[in-house]
């Protein structure tokens, strides 16, 4: 449903036609086919093929222009465009509820499950939060809905379940009723902090939702992803500034990617981690401001998540990966040989096959969420991430 809305929004009628309205425009019919496998302009789906007809699209586009209705405003969902007014206190307490009956409705598709409801808390307020960090509505919708979420293997100590969007941009966390209610109370002060300090290292919340079905409630918070999976963190620390019971237990250390604590950090880095003067000063200033905000909220149970990416180990890992790919290519070459020739011929063929491997192209990626990593936040700059084979 949502992807169709996106298509209709960015289609040929997103902007006003550059000509006068003609009589033939009133009789025009635009037909869009939605095959199950998808097409260049439509998403794949699990239903039978269907078609969508738009009658007199250009004419109705003119009619909407007469009343000042923009394409974003016409898109399904009242929050498709930024509100044309200032944020009000009542916006932080607004709750929008959408019912999904099995037979469908004028704005929801039919489905084969029990009826459920979806609640959106403070939709206008969170829309402003996303605007502060340059997140467009269609980008946010595609991140959340274009592919299944991935469940993270290391749940939090609170029992919450964490999910990651397929594009690595957002984390979705399940929360209890009290935690969701507490966040909603903090929203006015949280909004003020984001306006005053966009370099904050505090979690950036982009949505609060509740899924209700069969008398069960699942509350979800959408946050930015601080540690993208395409950058390997060789060490992770959860630091509270305390040493009492602050050592990772045996079970945690046996995990593939353990999260260590304060005493482990002091043991691994007895002299601390050295930073450039400008980076250090910006980091300390940001942490001090964030701590004052937490103090004003009367929050004391918090920690600093630190990820360490080791450049030397990264280079070694990439070299080992290259070697493994070359060995795999050699094995495939051996399997294709018909048995003719001596061992020398085999070695020559394997050598030729290895050198024939193409070097993968560099991919220059730009993260969607502005100031989403720690370094981007304290520097207030979002720079492209260049994934080259020989650059860790």
Active-site annotation holds for 301: yes
Measured CA to CA, the distance from residue 289 to residue 159 in angstroms comes to 29
DSSP 249-300: -HHHHTSSS-EE-HHHHHHH-TT-----HHHHHHHHHHHHHHHHHHHHTT--
The sign of the torsion formed by the CA atoms of 44, 45, 49, 55 equals negative
Burial class for 117, CB neighbours closer than 10 Å (0-12, 13-18, 19+) = middle
Active-site annotation holds for 173: yes
Burial class for 381, CB neighbours closer than 10 Å (0-12, 13-18, 19+) = exposed
Of 301, 312, 338, 342, which is the active-site residue? Answer: 301
Torsion of CA 188, 192, 195, 199, to 10 degrees: -100
Task: Count the residues in the chain.
Answer: 392
Measured CA to CA, the distance from residue 307 to residue 157 in angstroms comes to 18
Helix (H/G/I), strand (E/B), else coil: 313:
helix
Strands of the 304-308 sheet, one edge to the other: 259-260, 235-239, 304-308
* Beta carbons within 8 Å of 135's beta carbon, 6+ residues apart: 206, 368, 369
Of 91, 138, 168, 173, which is the active-site residue? Answer: 173
Measured CA to CA, the distance from residue 98 to residue 117 in angstroms comes to 6
Measured CA to CA, the distance from residue 357 to residue 202 in angstroms comes to 44
Catalytic residue ranges: 173, 301
């Amino acid at each position: 449903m949502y992807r169709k809305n996106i298509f209709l929004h960015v289609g040929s009628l997103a902007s006003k036609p550059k000509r006068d309205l003609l009589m033939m425009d009133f009789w025009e019919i635009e037909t869009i086919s939605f095959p199950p496998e998808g097409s260049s302009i439509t998403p794949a789906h699990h239903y039978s093929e269907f078609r969508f007809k738009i009658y007199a699209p250009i004419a109705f586009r003119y009619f909407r222009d007469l009343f000042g209705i923009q394409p974003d405003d016409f898109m399904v969902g009242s929050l498709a465009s930024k509100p044309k007014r200032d944020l009000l206190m009542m916006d932080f307490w607004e709750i929008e509820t959408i019912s999904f009956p099995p037979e469908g409705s004028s704005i929801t598709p039919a489905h084969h499950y029990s009826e459920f409801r979806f609640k959106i808390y403070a939709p206008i307020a969170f829309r402003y939060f996303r605007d502060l960090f340059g997140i467009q509505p269609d980008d946010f919708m595609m991140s959340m809905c274009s592919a299944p979420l991935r469940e993270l293997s290391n749940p939090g100590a609170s029992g919450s379940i964490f999910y990651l969007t397929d594009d690595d941009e957002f984390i979705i966390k399940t929360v209890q009723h009290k935690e969701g209610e507490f966040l909603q109370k903090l929203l006015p002060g949280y909004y003020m902090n984001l306006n005053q300090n966009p370099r904050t290292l505090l979690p950036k919340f982009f949505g609060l939702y509740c899924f209700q079905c069969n008398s069960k409630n699942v509350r979800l918070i959408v946050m930015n992803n601080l540690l993208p999976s395409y950058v390997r963190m060789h060490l992770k620390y959860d630091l509270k500034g305390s040493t009492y019971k602050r050592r990772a237990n045996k079970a945690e250390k046996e995990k593939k990617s353990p999260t260590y604590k304060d005493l482990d950090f002091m043991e691994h880095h007895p002299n601390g981690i050295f930073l450039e003067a400008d980076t250090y000063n910006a980091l300390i200033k940001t942490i001090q401001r964030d701590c004052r905000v937490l103090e004003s909220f009367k929050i004391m149970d918090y920690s600093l998540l630190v990820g360490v990416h080791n450049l030397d180990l990264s280079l070694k890992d990439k070299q080992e990966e290259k070697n493994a790919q070359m060995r795999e290519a050699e094995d495939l070459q051996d399997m294709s040989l018909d048995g003719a020739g001596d061992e020398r011929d085999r070695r020559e063929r394997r050598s030729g096959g290895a050198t024939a491997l193409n070097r993968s192209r560099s991919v220059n990626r730009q993260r969607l969420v502005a100031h989403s990593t720690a370094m981007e936040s304290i520097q207030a700059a979002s720079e492209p991430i260049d994934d080259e084979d020989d650059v860790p």
